[in-house]
Chains A and B, each alone.
Chain A
Amino acid sequence: MYWLRGGFVFTRVVSPFHRLDPRIKLLVSLEFFLTSLITKTVPEVLAVLLAILGVAALAKSLKRIARTMAFSGLFALFIFAVNFLFGIGLLNAVVYSVRFLAIISSTSIFFVTTSPDELEQIMTWMHVPRDVVFAFVTAVRFIPVVMLDALQIMDAQKSRGLEFERGNVVKRVRNMVPIMIPLVVNSVIRSGELAEAMESRAYGSTPKPTSLYKMNLRWYDAAVAAAGLAVLAAVALYIYHYVHFGA
């Protein structure tokens, strides 16, 4: 629960990284993602991880990213154990598990620094259908609301004698019914109300809605993009070199 909230939910922070064009933030995260996938040795993967932490610091989100990594640590250990037991060697197993951490945190960096409104801008720019974009943004907007609903429902049912900490698996699943049904019903009611409000504000009147903000690439966006592409180029060369000359 907290892993999700800490690692993948946007919070408003002022930082040099946050200020970047959302597409550039996406580019940076993708670059980290890709480079972590192609690393082969421990120093390489650690370098990528350090780079990610560096960017996290630039985004004033070092604590959050570090915490995400810590929470993912358990799964990383699992990956290490499985791979080691399959006999691929100690160092390779370390690489795989650290690579996992790098992948998680590169994704996390993106979501922590990009607001749902910016996500909307990116998706619209990528020509994702308007309805899909709207559904996505609305879903994200209502996550805290649904979470609160769930807590209130649990309180109400606990107050009627429902105990969900006890009992075997079957019993526990059965005890989720008084929570799930109101949650689903409330969501359905909510959708109906949202639909009415949308219609009342002329949703769907035009296939090309206008928008309040426009994405503009500034000089620092271009600079970061250039730097990132340079790194990617270097890595590509490296792989080419590696593949062709086995170094």
Chain B
Amino acid sequence: MGAERIGGSGRKPILSVEHLSFRYPDSKRPALTDVNLEVGEGEVVILAGPSGCGKSTLLRCVNGLIPHMYPGDYSGKVAVAGLEVASTQMSTLAQNVGLLFQNPENQIFMFSVERDVAFGLQNLAVPRGEMRARVDESMRLLGITDLAHRAPHELSDGQKQRAALAGVLAMRPRLIILDEPTSLLDPKTALDVVSLIARLNGELGITFIVVEHRLELLTPIASRLVVMDGGTKVMDGPPRAVLADPSAEAHGVGAPPVVRLYNSLAAEGLRLPRFPDSPDEMAQELNSL
């Protein structure tokens, strides 16, 4: 199911990272060493790896916070939608790549949801009429139109996360990156967020890169799994291939139980026709043996 979403070959990639290395000024060790990554438009990519592997740093290099807000020892090239990140202003970058952070609370500034969704558009001096239209559209897509006038402290965490995503979406980026968007949410709410990502990817063709530990949530919709460790990229491929590799575990990437079962069956010579995205699928496969 995920395989169909790989960006078509021959199209220019939406993100291109070439020999990227970065070291924070007050740190002795580099956070990123020679990272190379290409993401095609329309893909859904999972970025995984143990804590401290550089995933968050990489995200910030993609949306421009590094080097614009966090200067440091930077070498290599990052290009988003053809724009070189290091030499493009944040205001332009923000219209091409959006970043959703982990804590829903700390990315909502305004006292009402609709004004917060408009926040980015205000900063870009979008005229009022167009602003209204884009805000309404974003809220509709995220299913929060009825929350337009609510204050953030009246919202649940899942609603806050959706409001924040609406704010990012209003700027119409082609690429959205998310930094552990579901880690503070309960499993059901997390599933809601994931289905939102799937919908936005399917309906609007937005490319997604998601940093996530809970792989079982995303493998059904992701075409690719990129693993980082110690500041470099160590694995990159379709989720089934990466998770079948025993070294994934050593890199802090735990395969979901059903996948682990699939792998052990395959190791004993029993290869199921389809890669199970869920226990239900696996049960189906086993029953039809």
Contacts and interface: CB of A to CB of B under 8 A. Distances in A.
Contacts of B271: none
A193 B106 contact: yes
A197 B60 CA distance: 11
A224 B110 CA distance: 29
Contact of B111 (A140, A196, A210): A140
A209 B123 contact: yes
B94 A117 contact: no
A16 interface: no
User: Which label, helix, strand, loop or mixed, suits the secondary structure of the B interface?
Assistant: helix
B199 interface: no
Contacts of B64: 200
A178 interface: no
Given A202-B94, A202-B123, A210-B131, A141 B99 contact: no
Contact of B68 (A116, A199, A201, A203): A199
B69 A196 contact: yes
With most chain B CB atoms within 10 A of its CB, the pick from A12, A138, A190, A212 is: A212
Interface in A95-149: 115-117, 134, 137-138, 140-141, 144-145
A140 B112 CA distance: 12
Contact of A212 (B91, B114, B153): B114
A145 B118 CA distance: 22
Contact of B63 (A198, A200, A206): A200
B109 A141 contact: yes
Interface size class of B (residues with CB under 8 A): 35 or more
Contacts of A211: 118, 122, 128
Given A140-B111, A196-B69, A208 B125 contact: yes
A54 interface: no
A141 B127 contact: no
B236 interface: no
A205 interface: yes
A182 interface: no
A197 B124 contact: no
User: Which label, helix, strand, loop or mixed, suits the secondary structure of the A interface?
Assistant: helix
With most chain A CB atoms within 10 A of its CB, the pick from B65, B106, B125 is: B106
Contacts of A137: 109-111
Nearest to A12: B149
Interface string B164-182: 0001100100000000000
B231 interface: no
B216 interface: no
Given A193-B103, A210-B131, A141 B110 contact: yes
Nearest to A118: B111
A195 interface: yes
B276 interface: no
A214 interface: yes
24 contacts: A12-B149, A115-B112, A117-B111, A117-B112, A140-B111, A141-B110, A141-B151, A193-B101, A193-B103, A193-B107, A196-B101, A199-B65, A200-B168, A202-B90, A202-B171, A205-B90, A205-B94, A206-B123, A210-B122, A210-B131, A212-B114, A212-B118, A212-B131, A213-B115
The 7 A-B residue pairs whose C-beta atoms are closest, nearest first, are: A205-B91, A201-B120, A197-B107, A193-B106, A202-B94, A116-B111, A209-B122
Interface of B: 60, 63-65, 68-69, 89-91, 94-95, 98-99, 101, 103, 105-112, 114-115, 118-128, 131-132, 135, 149, 151-153, 167-168, 171
Given A200-B65, A201-B167, 15 more contacts: A115-B111, A141-B152, A144-B153, A195-B69, A197-B109, A199-B69, A200-B63, A200-B94, A202-B95, A202-B123, A205-B89, A205-B125, A206-B124, A206-B125, A212-B135
